[in-house]
């Protein structure tokens, strides 16, 4: 299985901050990388697909980059509704795997 490692596991930030979350795959996965947002008690929501494409309806302050094994999710000007847990997920192999998540908390 392809292992996905996110960092940091958690972070504290203030409204208006720029936040960066990284995701590393155990092998090259081209650009087969998706990002999801999950709020407490809710199902995850697709944010970004194919490393950098924004899902319909997702605010443009979210962006993704990377290819190969290293990827980044950036949130520009963090908003109150962005406090959540973010997961990366690879779709390179048929057996999909997620990172362990990054919890973004209010400072």
Partner 1 sequence: EVQLVESGGGLEKPGGSLRLSCAASGFTFSNAWMSWVRQAPGKGLEWVGRIKSKTDGGTTEYAAPVKGRFTISRDDSKNTLYLQMNNLKTEDTAVYYCTTDGLVVGATLDYWGQGTLVTVSS
**Interacting residue ranges for partner 1, rule: CB under 8 A:** 1, 32, 34, 36, 38, 43-46, 49-50, 55, 87, 89, 91, 94-101
CA dihedral sign, ordered 74, 84, 35, 54 = negative
Instruction: Look at residue 81 and give its three-state secondary structure.
Output: helix
Contact present, 83 and 104 (Cβ < 8 Å): yes
Residue 72 CB, nearest approach to partner 1 (Å): 18
The residue (of 29 and 69) whose beta carbon lies closer to partner 1 is: 29
At closest approach, how far in Å is the CB of 15 from partner 1?
A: 26
| Minimum distance, C-beta of residue 71 to partner 1, in the bound complex (Å) | 15
* Closest CB to partner 1 among residues 75, 90: 90
* Extended beta strands in the chain, E state: 4-7, 10-13, 19-25, 33-38, 45-49, 53-54, 62-67, 70-75, 85-90, 97-98, 102-106
Q: At its nearest, how many Å lie between partner 1 and the CB of residue 30?
A: 11
Task: Considering the complex, state which of residue 19 and residue 32 has its C-beta at the smaller distance from partner 1.
Answer: 32
């Amino acid at each position: 299985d392809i292992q996905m490692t996110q960092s940091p596991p958690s972070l504290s930030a203030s409204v208006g901050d720029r936040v960066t979350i990284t995701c590393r795959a155990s092998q090259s996965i081209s650009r087969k990388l998706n990002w999801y947002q999950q709020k407490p008690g809710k199902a995850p929501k697709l944010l970004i697909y194919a490393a950098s494409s924004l899902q319909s309806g997702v605010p443009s302050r979210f962006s993704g980059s990377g290819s190969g094994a290293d990827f980044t999710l950036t949130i520009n000007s963090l908003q109150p509704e962005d406090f959540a847990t973010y997961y990366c997920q690879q779709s390179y192999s048929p057996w999909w795997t997620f990172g362990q998540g990054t919890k973004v908390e209010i400072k």
